[in-house]
Amino acid sequence: MHPRRQEDGVLSYVLTQPPAMAAAATELAGIGTAISEAAASVAGPTTTIATAAADEVSAAIAQLFGAFGQEYQAINAQLGALYNQFTQNLAAAANAYFGDEAISAATLVKGATTGLFTPTSPPVVPPAFGQNTAIVMSGTGSPIPSIQYVAAITNLFLPPGMVVNPLNTIEELYPITGVKSLPFQNSVQTGLQILDAAIWEQIHAGNHVTVFGYSQSAVISSLEIQQLLSLGPNKPDPSQLSFIFIGNEMNPNGGILSRIPGLNISTLGLPFYGATADNPYPTTTYTLEYDGFADFPRYPLNVLSDINAVFGIITVHTQYQYLTPQQVANAILLPTEGVTSNQYFIIPTAHLPLLDPVRAIPVIGPPLAALIEPDLRVLVNLGYGDPRFGYSTSPANVPTPFGLFPDVPPGVIVDALVAGTHQGINDFAAALPAALNPPELPVIGFPPYIQQILPPSPGPVPATPANIASTFAAVVSDSYSLLLPTADLGLAFATILPAYDLSLFLNQLLHGNFIAAIELPLAATAGLAALGAMIEFIAIVRTVAAIIQQLQSLNF
């Protein structure tokens, strides 16, 4: 990764591959040598042309072609000098990248872990642990784990017999949790300090600790793992500590923060910390299929897959605590690479989140969604690679950034679409009788994720002139406050995104991948555009919901 310095002094990181650059420089130098040798071998024949006869025409032709040969050799010498300079510059750049890579790869994580406890000796492993303790945190928008949430998590994901300790963290994410809330970076740093202190308190008390993280608190826990690994011989023993994650944005193969690692959207305070490190502590991760935060498409040029992921953030990411024990027990174990103590499970999602608005249409909505879903699922799944699955099937513990296009034969896609068409017709026929019955009026409400991040609804107040004026002022304030995140997103797309795309373009160009130099920036732009649209959309919907709550509080 190579840092690009922004005007405000914040570094934004982009991907490079120094070994490939060095190899490219070596290969280019070899090509240049071969061209120079070939040019030297033909220097004589091309600059000295023997006349075919003694007449004036033959002499003039020989002189003409000889002049062409001499001009070619002169131009070739100039090009050779430029080529040598280019390869020298490329080699120098590769050497510079080697130094920058080591520094910038850990900069974002180091910034988050600065100031945490650093023991001078390894903690003592007791002969028998005093308690099996679970530290349970909630997700973005829920700083205090509710009683219902803790009970659901304990029942679904924690081993029996644990002493459960809810842990309050900040869990804010500007602008999604409000214009006046903390940026993600600050919220994570504060939460990391809280979690680190809680873990060491339990370890020093002689207890075994299981850390449970959801969404943002899974990011906090992932950074805590990297902090513990950095302690070397003074880190806790693997027998003292374990982790359980749900909806982890740092999933190595699927988390949105690892799909585009090292990027720092400084205007929003949103660093992409990369992947959860493969670590010696027993770590279990559960991900719902199509959860756009934890299961983001690998191939973001697939716009349908991107949009489905955005809807998945709104409707799927909040559903972990509402799963059944059977769903958790039947979760699919994903393949991993090498020896690891980390396990990754995917929990299938019955329907595409993209079709939730269609299903909400009275009468015709459910059968129409049933008709098109099988084929649409094939197209959406191509954003992950295999048209059969809504998640990446490559090793789950290997950090996997975004790519261009999946390597799927066209015949496989055609066969899947044909089968999907037949299934859609059958599903439509099966759903039609239920649609013909008198429908119940749908319950109007906000999507689950919006409900999770909404502030508490204000209590009813009498519609006095003072209260009406106060409510009106609050509505106006909330309305124009949307201009700030919109401006921050616009600034990011006008500055940080072009710099990121330019780095991708130059990186691939230096490797000789001319097609990838065009396509990778397009893929990055598509993925970040989906993320930006999601942030803006959620900020708008949250603001509208808050305004509605304020207006409803007036009791006329």
Beta strand pairing call for 11-14 and 2-5 = antiparallel
Q: How far apart are CA 303 and CA 309, in angstroms?
A: 10
Beta-carbon contacts of 374 under 8 Å, excluding residues fewer than 6 positions away, are: 419, 420, 421, 423, 424, 427
CA dist 390 and 318 (Å) reads: 18
Distance CA 518, CA 502 (A): 10
User: How many Cβ atoms are within 10 Å of 528's Cβ, its own excluded?
Assistant: 21
Helix, strand, coil share of the chain (percent; to 5): 55, 10, 35
Q: How far is CA 394 from CA 148, 208, 399, 531, in A?
A: 35, 33, 10, 23
| Strands 264-265 and 270-271, bridge-based pairing | antiparallel
CA angle 203, 208, 213 (to 5 degrees): 95
d(CA 16, CA 22): 11
Of the candidates 465, 459, 474, 466, the one whose C-alpha atom is nearest the C-alpha of residue 546 is 474
**Contact in structure between 247 and 288 (CB atoms under 8 Å):** yes
Cβ-Cβ contacts under 8 Å for 225 (sequence gap 6 or more): 243, 276, 277, 279, 281, 283
Instruction: Return phi, psi of residue 346, to 5°.
Output: -110, 135
Q: How many residues does the chain have?
A: 556
Return d(Cα 166, Cα 195) in angstroms, integer: 11
d(CA 307, CA 530): 7
Q: How far is CA 94 from CA 21, 99, 278, 454, in A?
A: 5, 9, 28, 48
Strands (E), 117-218: 132-136, 163-166, 208-214
Q: 161: how many CB neighbours lie within 10 A of its CB? A: 7
| 215 assigned to active site | yes
Separation between Cα atoms, residue 107 and residue 11, nearest integer Å = 9
Give the integer Cα–Cα distance in Å for 183 and 160: 36
From the candidates 104, 138, 215, 217, which is the catalytic residue?
A: 215
Residue type, 300: P
Q: Among all residues, which ones are annotated catalytic?
A: 215
